[in-house]
Amino acid sequence: MTNVLLPQTINFFNLGSKLCLVDLPGYGFAYAKEEFKDAWVELVKEYVSTRVGLKRVCLLTGTKWRMKPRDHELIDLMERAETKYQVLLTKTDSVFPIDAARRAMQIEEVIMAYLYWHFTIYKQHFLTIAHVFSSYAFNTAVLVVYASVSRRP
């Protein structure tokens, strides 16, 4: 049985006739072998840098942990490719609200540092505080957005 929180393939979900949600493999899962993580990272990088018609990428990162080097690599790639993205801060219910707010500010600082030090393009970025609820009965994950912060550098 495949763990729905750790997809190992690209899964497509049609949301009406004009929108398709694409679930890519996660590369930060602690129990996955490093060779699998490396392969998933390459798959994600290839997809987000070459996919025609891609409108936005949502990068999910846990509230308890700092962004990983692979997250930084992906943000760098998306910035260079001028891909619109937003960071979704997950599992906010597992920490105190003040800690979730601190983590959101740290991530925002990382994104602003990319814009300030590496790029001259000015586009809108979104930082979204969210929580992913799992429903094992339905084998799905439901994303609930709590707040969204929009900033223009």
CATH number, position 144: 3.40.50.300
Does 58 reside within a domain? yes
The predicted pLDDT at position 117 comes to 57
**What residue has token string 């601190």?**
102
Containing domain of residue 35, as a range? 11-151
Residue 131 lies in a domain: yes
Higher pLDDT among residues 67 and 4, named by residue? 67
Q: Does pTM surpass 0.75?
A: no
Do residues 108 and 69 lie in contact, with contact meaning Cβ atoms separated by under 8 Å?
A: no
Number of structural domains found in the chain: 1
Give per-residue burial for 73-97: e unless 16+ CB within 10 Å, then b.
ebbebbbeeebebbbbbbbbeeeee
Position 3 pLDDT exceeds 70: no
Residue 5 falls inside a structural domain:
no
Classify residue 4: in a domain, yes or no. no
In a domain, 60, yes or no: yes
Any residues with CB less than 8 A from the CB of 25 and at least 6 apart, and which?
Answer: 6, 7, 8, 9, 10, 40, 43, 44
pLDDT value at residue 135: 38
Does the residue 65 lie in any domain?
yes
pLDDT tens for 126-151 read 444 444 444 333 333 333 333 333 44
pLDDT band at 116 (very low <50, low <70, confident <90, very high): low
In a domain? residue 132: yes
- Please name the residue that has the structure tokens 């992913």: 132
